[in-house]
Structure 1
Amino acid sequence: MVKVLMKGNEVIGEAAIQAGCYYFFGYPITPQSELVAYMAKRLPEEGGVFLQAESEVSAINMVYGAASAGVRVMTSSSSPGFSLKQEGISYLAGAELPAVIVNVGRGGPGLGNIQPAQSDYFQVTRGGGHGDYYTPVLAPASLQEIAELTQQAFRIADEYRTPVIILGDGMLGQMMEPVDFESVEQEVMIHNKDWAVTGTAGDGPPKTITSLDLNDVLLEERNHRLQNKYKAIRERETRVTYQYAEDADWFVVAYGTVGRIVQSAVEKAREKGVNVGVIRPISLWPFPYETISGFSETSSHMLVVEMSAGQMIEDVRLAVEGKAPVSFYGRNGGVIPSVNEIFEEIIKVDAEVGVR
């Protein structure tokens, strides 16, 4: 086992290359600029193509073009830049084109700041752009998990012909950890992409890829096809992890890097005799409604912790369906919650749960 010490943004790039992605179109914006720089250096070494576009809008439309040719392609940005890509992501979804889009989140709204935040949750889990579509969203909590989920992201994109989002934050992108790439299971690439626009050489009719259907009945049929695809993704691609479920009286729910902080806070609370567990959604869409719903049958409380004003809490409430109280603790504007303050909130909630 050989581990390499790397920055999170660089891990995303290397993992993508190892997944067979040799095409990257991007634009620098903090705190994901190292990913753009890494791909600018590495892709020419691999015989790939790197192009820094003149804007985020240009980059996502270049992704559309490359994806139409059937290659594995990626772009990346950070919150305000990701917002600019939303029209293009909607086009990718409508045209059923596979691509991976990375969002290394930062504080907002507007330009905000360059500190970590999780306030893009609504944007990535509700489609973000126009039309009835969803994008699978994977939220890693460590750099090792980045390497693993990047492989999964490209596999999901190819298998379902859909754009897939990897959602991180400034902390995950800037931190450094040792990563073992050799242990990452390499997903088999799909080479038979008979839908791709690669030219016919006069053999057969020309192919076209578009999201445009001026006939309303045909557009409705396209939407039905998309919804059937999303149903299959919900059934097969939901990911969640949890700990201490065997004796937990109640749970803390958190994702991404906050899930790591919560893990330490919960361990500290359990040392004090608090029977609390952790639920960490890994796929934010599809969201693990069934898992959380199942735990809420016996849980006396759900505490949601986020680096936002409270967004995932809405999905947790939908999952719980009133079977248990749901409360929230969050920091926003780029403030990272500490282990101690989450620990104190756990102790506070546990005292209230005990009273009931």
Structure 2
Amino acid sequence: MGEKILMKGNEVIGEAALRAGCRHYFGYPITPQTEIAHYMAKRMPQEGGTFLQAESEVAAINMVYGAASAGVRVMTSSSSPGISLKQEGISYASCAELPAVVVNIVRTGPGLGGILPAQCDYFQAVKGGGHGDYKMVVLAPCSVQELYELTVEAFNIADRYRILAMIMGDGILGQMMEPVEFRDSEEIIKVDKNWATNGTNMSRENNVITSIYIDPEKMENHNLKLQAKYKEIESKEIRVETYNCENADIIVSAFGTVARIIKNVITMAEKEGIKVGLIRPITLWPFPVSEFQKYAEVPKAFLTVEMNAGQMVEDVRMAVNGKREVHFYGRMGGMIPTQQDILNKIKEILKG
């Protein structure tokens, strides 16, 4: 690792992608992620790559489809309404098993919403915002350092499994500046992309990349193949942080920016004799079910804190499976839960 550099989160995502070998970026500006495109517009030509501001988000995701089909590392980025526009292309790319990275720096919703931070795209990301039985790997960083590390990892995961990998942050992470320490070199996995449409040299049969299977048996078999791949990913690629969970009075689950707030709540609660644990899913999909099961009977209750109306809480409830009550506290519209509000909610739960 080298010296620490003060950088904005969005720009770190761009730099991380370049270090991961991404040489093709297609996007469209939307706050609060536009700095990713700005950074790529400046740096991509310096690296001999292709930056293109598409005419729309729909165009951008289909350009990603084309570049990924040729076997190159490619990325797009947007924010909530823009990601909604990309959903058809995301579904097509998922069926075609194309590896690529999609970044969503979440803003408020529904609709056009506002430019302030939120976590209201959880359902869209992990349950499938487009049509069909597909999954994306969804990584949720909580710091600028993790934006760097997980972006690099997203490209490796995408190539390893021929799957879309999403970096899901929020307006705070995208806009904040923190010191980031880059590695001297990246561990970039090498995979044989013999499926790619990158020219035959008259030495092999043509490759065909498609998401249409007219024959129902072929369509079902392809779906079964996808589901088997997702099960493999669930067994190998879960990432989670647990903190202070042994003998906790209550365990809080949170991801991204909110998890940082919880760590301060833990310190506040300790001064009042309350032991609070934290389970932070880093992969929102695959979800760290086993980690919740491990601690399911430890606390008196669970509390999930999110910047939405209650989305990840459903997965937490399924993981805990009725062994303890799972409560929810959330803020919406760009409002951020405060440490004191969360502590008050914890006290309220423990008082029963």
Matched residue, 2:116: 115
RMSD: 1.1
The offset of 1:80, in angstroms, is 0.3
Point out the more displaced range, 274-283 or 238-247.
Answer: 238-247
Q: Residue 300 of structure 2 contacts residue 350 of structure 2 at CA under 8 Å; is this kept in 1? A: no
CA-to-aligned-CA distance 1:223-243 (integer Å, 9 cap, x gap): 010000000000001111111
CA-to-aligned-CA distance 1:113-172 (integer Å, 9 cap, x gap): 000000000000012110111111000000001111111101110000001111000011
Identity of aligned residues (%): 58
Matched residue, 2:19: 18
Matched residue, 1:53: 54
* Structure 2 counterparts to residues 1-356 of structure 1, below 5 A: 1-182=2-183, 186-352=186-352
Query: Secondary structure of the residue that 1:112 maps to in structure 2?
Result: coil
Query: Secondary structure of the residue that 2:183 maps to in structure 1?
Result: helix
Letter paired with 1:112: G
Letter paired with 2:183: E
Number of residues of Structure 1 aligned to a counterpart in Structure 2: 351
Between the aligned partners of 2:108 and 2:50, the Cα distance in structure 1 is 31
Letter paired with 2:269: A
Moved over 3 A (4+): none
Between the aligned partners of 2:341 and 2:65, the Cα distance in structure 1 is 44
The offset of 1:192, in angstroms, is 2.0
Query: Secondary structure of the residue that 2:277 maps to in structure 1?
Result: strand
Between the aligned partners of 2:48 and 2:189, the Cα distance in structure 1 is 18
Q: Residue 98 of structure 2 contacts residue 164 of structure 2 at CA under 8 Å; is this kept in 1? A: yes
Between the aligned partners of 2:309 and 2:227, the Cα distance in structure 1 is 30
Letter paired with 2:307: M
Query: Secondary structure of the residue that 2:332 maps to in structure 1?
Result: coil
Q: Residue 26 of structure 2 contacts residue 64 of structure 2 at CA under 8 Å; is this kept in 1? A: yes
Q: Residue 21 of structure 1 contacts residue 73 of structure 1 at CA under 8 Å; is this kept in 2? A: yes
The offset of 1:191, in angstroms, is 4.5
Point out the more displaced range, 198-207 or 155-164.
Answer: 198-207
Between the aligned partners of 1:322 and 1:36, the Cα distance in structure 2 is 45
Q: Residue 123 of structure 2 contacts residue 311 of structure 2 at CA under 8 Å; is this kept in 1? A: yes
The offset of 1:187, in angstroms, is 2.7
Query: Secondary structure of the residue that 1:182 maps to in structure 2?
Result: coil
Between the aligned partners of 1:342 and 1:14, the Cα distance in structure 2 is 35
TM-score by length of 2: 0.98
Between the aligned partners of 2:271 and 2:15, the Cα distance in structure 1 is 39
Between the aligned partners of 2:246 and 2:322, the Cα distance in structure 1 is 22
Letter paired with 2:9: G
Between the aligned partners of 2:61 and 2:304, the Cα distance in structure 1 is 33
Between the aligned partners of 2:120 and 2:205, the Cα distance in structure 1 is 46
Query: Secondary structure of the residue that 1:242 maps to in structure 2?
Result: strand
The offset of 1:308, in angstroms, is 0.3
Q: Residue 269 of structure 1 contacts residue 347 of structure 1 at CA under 8 Å; is this kept in 2? A: no
Between the aligned partners of 1:39 and 1:188, the Cα distance in structure 2 is 20
Q: Residue 141 of structure 1 contacts residue 259 of structure 1 at CA under 8 Å; is this kept in 2? A: yes
The offset of 1:11, in angstroms, is 0.6
TM-score by length of 1: 0.97
CA-to-aligned-CA distance 1:201-244 (integer Å, 9 cap, x gap): 22222111111111111111110100000000000011111111
